[in-house]
Amino acid sequence: MRIWGKVFGFILGFMFGRLGGAIFGLWLGHMYDRYQNKKAGLGGSGKRQALFFNTTFAVMGHVAKASGHVTENDIRMASSLMDQLNLSGQTRADAQAAFREGKESDFDLNACLKTFRLISMGRKEVLQMFLEIQIQTALSDAQLDQKERVILSVVANELGFSQQQLDDLLARWQAEFNFHRSGGNQTSIKDAYDLLGVAESMSDQDIKRAYRKLMNEHHPDKLVAKGLPAEMMELAKTKAQDIQAAYDRVKGERGMR
């Protein structure tokens, strides 16, 4: 039985927030210890990856239930993601169980996200990929229900993203959806700009910088090294390919070298 998370959390919390901080630190430490005990057979990186994997599908289930009931489209979305990740056997069963857990009325979204952020050690790229997957779930029907928006705001806030950052990611996902639907070279130039998160009025140099930043954030090998499960590398590859295709579209339109 591991208790060092509780000890460390209590001490750190007391240092920064006295008694109130100590209590909160003790709770976070408890959540960390519980996760470690449950996954005792895995290495540190394996723990982070397993937590990412399970939390992803649990929160997906919660987001899907936000509108009042899980639709056939939500189920297809979850199944499609499992197919894309080549999940089978026990791994797929675990993902399905996590999805069902997230649909339960007593699912504690905030506690789940706090634990996930703690174990992920605040790695921004990994947290952003997680948030983007939840956005993709919410917008799988190309519409965003108000309750889904509220939950996405909770997810973003718990992971350290501002409302503006969430809105920017929502706009980029919509552009990516349009990009896929119409095909890279046939898509509107506006969608290409939006996918890159840039404006047509920006200079070529600024667009290049934005492109390089996005590619760095979504580089599959870097994401896996920072805790993204290897099974989810295909998602990162797809996003990197979409970013590259949008950039090529913009370059062709502007005559950039």
- At 88-133, the pLDDT tens digits run 788 788 888 998 999 888 899 998 898 888 877 777 877 888 898 8
pTM (two decimals): 0.66
pLDDT band per the 50, 70, 90 thresholds, residue 247: very high
CA–CA distance, 162 with 169 (Å, rounded to integer): 11
Residues 125-173 pLDDT 10s: 778 888 988 888 777 766 777 888 899 999 999 999 999 999 988 888 8
* Predicted confidence (pLDDT) at residue 203 exceeds the cutoff of 90: yes
State whether 11 and 132 are in the same domain.
no
State whether 10 and 77 are in the same domain.
no
Secondary structure element (H or E) that encloses residue 53, with its range: helix 44-65
State whether 85 and 154 are in the same domain.
yes
78 neighbors 57 (Cβ within 8 angstroms): yes
State whether 51 and 148 are in the same domain.
yes
Q: Cα-flanking dihedrals φ and ψ of residue 145, to 5°? A: -65, 150
Q: Can you give the residue range of the structural domain that contains 11?
A: 1-38
State whether 64 and 177 are in the same domain.
yes
When divided into structural domains, the chain yields a total of 2
State whether 70 and 1 are in the same domain.
no
State whether 84 and 208 are in the same domain.
yes
State whether 22 and 93 are in the same domain.
no
Neighbours of 94 (CB within 10 A): 15
State whether 2 and 98 are in the same domain.
no
Closest by CA to 132, choosing from 22, 242, 250, is: 242
169/180: higher pLDDT = 169
State whether 118 and 207 are in the same domain.
yes
pLDDT band per the 50, 70, 90 thresholds, residue 187: low
State whether 34 and 82 are in the same domain.
no
What pLDDT score was predicted for residue 33?
A: 52
State whether 65 and 3 are in the same domain.
no
pLDDT band per the 50, 70, 90 thresholds, residue 257: confident
With 0-12 / 13-18 / 19 or more C-beta atoms within 10 angstroms meaning exposed / middle / buried, residue 251 is middle
